[in-house]
Amino acid sequence: MFPLRDDNPTLYRVFITFIIIIINALVWIFIQGLGFEPFLTKSIVHFGLIPGELLGTIAPGTSIPLSGQLSYVIENTPHWSTLFTSMFMHGGWFHIIGNMWFLYVFGDNVEDAMGPFRFLLFYLLCGLAAAGSQMVLAPVSTALVVGTSGSISGIMGAYVVLYPRAPIHTLVFLGFFVTRIIVPAYLMLGYWFLLQLFGSVGSPNGGVAFAAHIGGFVAGVVLIFFFRKKDRMKKKRIARVWDGWK
């Protein structure tokens, strides 16, 4: 299931969501070189998060092979800044396009519920929770963790709490058959969360950071109760009843 859009108009001016999308796009163009080598590999090595390095479970000087004849070396000093810089790195075109599309579909309404500056803090905290979850699950991992999907998972967790019955226009892929349906948010996002749970069990050390997705989603579900503004949500509830869904 892939979300196309939601029928959930915002009531306030939203801009942080789009600024985050623009920042990620600029990083992809000017730092990651649109995915061309050697810019892509260098950016991921310099700005990606390595759980084993931050936790000190990998000996300094350890050489980790990459694709081809490239490798990177674990240094003596952990690069804690990668907790933040890794949120703006991506591994390929599908990675960044998918992340930015999910942020576009779900981010504006979550920002609408809490205001721009609360939303920015919420976004960063969910990203940190996602990184922490990945490190707890794989404390000795040498895999480079990149992407803003942990933060976006938090946004999706918040969305399902705030707007469980919001109509989501969704593409459904059944082999070669593709159709378009409208489902409530709790069904689409609940399905997505189950995929992350199954993925974390079936491939805990695979190429997808399932633990980060789960950690970010759970953080979003919890943090939204502290970040949402009750007066905004009251107005949103009135608008939803008027539009025919609760």
Residue 160: which domain range?
2-243
User: 146-156, pLDDT tens digit by residue?
Assistant: 999 999 999 99
DSSP structure string for 67-130: STT-EEE--SS--TTHHHHGGG--SSHHHHHHHHHHHHHHHHHHHHHH-HHHHHHHHHHHHHHH
pTM for this predicted structure: 0.91
For the record, the structure tokens of 23 come out as 């920042």
According to the model, what pLDDT value does residue 49 have?
93
User: 77-134, pLDDT tens digit by residue?
Assistant: 889 999 999 999 999 999 999 999 999 999 999 999 999 999 999 999 999 999 999 9
Round to whole Å and give the CA distance between 26 and 140.
32
User: 134-188, pLDDT tens digit by residue?
Assistant: 999 888 888 889 999 999 999 999 999 999 999 999 999 887 888 999 999 999 9
According to the model, what pLDDT value does residue 242 have?
47
Determine if the peptide bond prior to 38 is cis (ω within 30°).
yes
Cα 221 versus chain centre, distance: 14
Round to whole Å and give the CA distance between 118 and 213.
21
pLDDT score of 208 more than 80: no
Query: Which CATH number fits the domain that encloses residue 7?
Result: 1.20.1540.10
Round to whole Å and give the CA distance between 166 and 183.
8
Q: How crowded is residue 78: how many other Cβ atoms within 10 Å of its Cβ?
A: 16
What is the count of structural domains for the chain? 1
